[in-house]
């Protein structure tokens, strides 16, 4: 009788050899390895050959083999904060010896592990995952693409509620030698102030501090009939809002229609919404500042003339 190994090993296609042997006997395991029906991908672990190249199977195998915790970019992928980068990152206690190197596996010896469980796998907490991946991206040899990805992950971690600003700051406080530490503190501060995307961060750094205008408010909430609007940037004293239209959030026709309906509802309450595209913000920051200043001063004059506040 041919044994269905998938029913033994499971959907992920990876299992400790000792666990397979407990179900079927060690002789059977050795025979299946010789026959090529099982593959020793890592020490103490076998996988189904057809699954050996799958990222999930490799992640499961790595956690089982090292008895470690998925970390760095792999943890970000499991928390839905990034896409898998093809490699598998595992953290083990610093007092343990690292296993022999594998070309697709990075084993990090660390202290203070407090694993969570995500999608059935042990994983570092979101804040630690961001900080770990940040350090890896900013060390010597790190790529610009890795830096962009971990910046997006840090912003997304807060925006989606996976983590929050105090957690990220606590994790950073524990890591005084982290490569790029100051840059992450700066990013976290911008997110804490209300920036929810790279475009908003660009706006804060290069456009929105307009000379002669009072401080703006980020994520200012305005009650609308039956709902509310959270404005990217607002000067409530003149009911002026600035929305930063990144393609990722405002590129579809449906989203554009929602934006137009919301702008109309705001207009009914006396608000004027200025929208700036990514292209304009990044290529014409001075022109954007001048436009904001001109509209602000015009509305301030109208408010004074008509006694409207």
pLDDT digits (tens, 9 = 90+) for 229-266: 999 999 999 999 999 886 544 456 787 888 889 999 99
Residue 99 DSSP one-character state:
P
C-alpha 301/C-alpha 102 separation (Å) is 68
The verdict on 21 and 67 lying in the same domain is no
The verdict on 187 and 207 lying in the same domain is no
The verdict on 68 and 162 lying in the same domain is yes
Last residue of a domain, one of 138, 160, 192: 192
Residue 252 maps to which CATH number? 3.40.960.10
The verdict on 178 and 67 lying in the same domain is yes
The verdict on 60 and 48 lying in the same domain is no
The verdict on 48 and 63 lying in the same domain is no
Q: Helix (H, G, I), strand (E, B), or coil: what is residue 239?
A: coil
Last residue of a domain, one of 36, 52, 68: 52
The verdict on 140 and 185 lying in the same domain is yes
- Average confidence (pLDDT) over 94-99: 91
Residue by residue, DSSP assigns 125-183 as -HHHHHHHHHHHHHSTT--HHHHHHHHHHHHHHHHTTSS-HHHHHHHHHT-TT-TTHHH
Domain count, the chain: 3
What mean pLDDT value characterizes the chain? 92
Last residue of a domain, one of 165, 192, 219: 192
C-alpha 167/C-alpha 170 separation (Å) is 5
The verdict on 171 and 71 lying in the same domain is yes
The verdict on 182 and 98 lying in the same domain is yes
The verdict on 161 and 232 lying in the same domain is no
C-alpha 305/C-alpha 309 separation (Å) is 11
pLDDT digits (tens, 9 = 90+) for 190-202: 999 888 888 889 8
pLDDT band at 305 (very low <50, low <70, confident <90, very high): confident
C-alpha 65/C-alpha 254 separation (Å) is 47
The verdict on 88 and 204 lying in the same domain is no
Nearest to 265 by CA among 224, 212, 236: 224
The boundaries of the domain holding residue 277 are 200-306
The verdict on 67 and 183 lying in the same domain is yes
pLDDT band at 283 (very low <50, low <70, confident <90, very high): very high
pLDDT digits (tens, 9 = 90+) for 9-23: 999 999 999 999 999
> To the nearest whole percent, how much of the chain has pLDDT over 70?
96
Q: Which residue has the higher pLDDT, 242 or 3?
A: 242
Spatial contact of 90 and 62, defined as CB atoms under 8 Å apart:
yes
Residue 140 has pLDDT above 90, yes or no: no
Helix%, strand%, coil% for the chain, nearest 5:
50, 20, 30
C-alpha 254/C-alpha 131 separation (Å) is 35
Count of other CB atoms within 10 angstroms of residue 148: 12
Residue 19 maps to which CATH number? 1.10.10
């Amino acid at each position: 009788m041919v044994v269905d190994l998938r029913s033994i090993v499971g959907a992920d296609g990876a299992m400790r050899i000792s666990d397979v042997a407990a179900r079927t006997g060690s002789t059977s395991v050795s025979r299946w390895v010789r026959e090529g029906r099982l593959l020793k991908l890592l020490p103490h672990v076998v996988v189904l050959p057809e699954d050996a190249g799958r990222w999930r199977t490799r992640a499961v195998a790595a956690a089982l083999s090292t008895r470690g915790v998925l970390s760095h970019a792999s943890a970000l992928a499991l928390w839905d904060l990034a896409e898998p980068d093809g490699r598998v990152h595992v953290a083990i206690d610093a007092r343990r010896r690292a296993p022999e190197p594998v070309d697709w596996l990075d084993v990090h010896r660390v202290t203070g592990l407090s694993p969570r469980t995500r999608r059935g796998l042990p994983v570092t907490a979101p804040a630690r995952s961001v900080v770990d991946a940040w350090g890896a991206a900013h060390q010597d040899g790190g790529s610009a693409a890795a830096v962009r990805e971990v910046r997006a992950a840090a912003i997304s971690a807060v925006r989606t509620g996976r983590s929050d600003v105090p957690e990220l700051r606590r994790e950073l406080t524990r890591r005084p030698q982290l490569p790029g530490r100051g840059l992450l503190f700066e990013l976290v501060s911008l997110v804490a102030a209300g920036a929810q995307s790279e475009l908003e961060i660009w706006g804060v750094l290069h456009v929105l501090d307009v000379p002669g205008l009072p401080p703006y408010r980020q994520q200012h909430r305005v009650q609308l009939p039956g709902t509310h609007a959270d404005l990217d940037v607002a000067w409530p004293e003149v009911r002026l809002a600035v929305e930063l239209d990144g393609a990722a959030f405002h590129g579809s026709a449906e989203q554009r229609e929602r934006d137009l309906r919301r702008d109309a509802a705001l207009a009914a309450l006396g608000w004027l919404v200025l929208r700036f595209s990514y292209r304009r913000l990044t290529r014409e920051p001075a022109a954007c500042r001048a436009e904001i200043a001109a509209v602000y001063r015009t509305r301030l004059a109208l408010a004074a003339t008509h006694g409207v506040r």
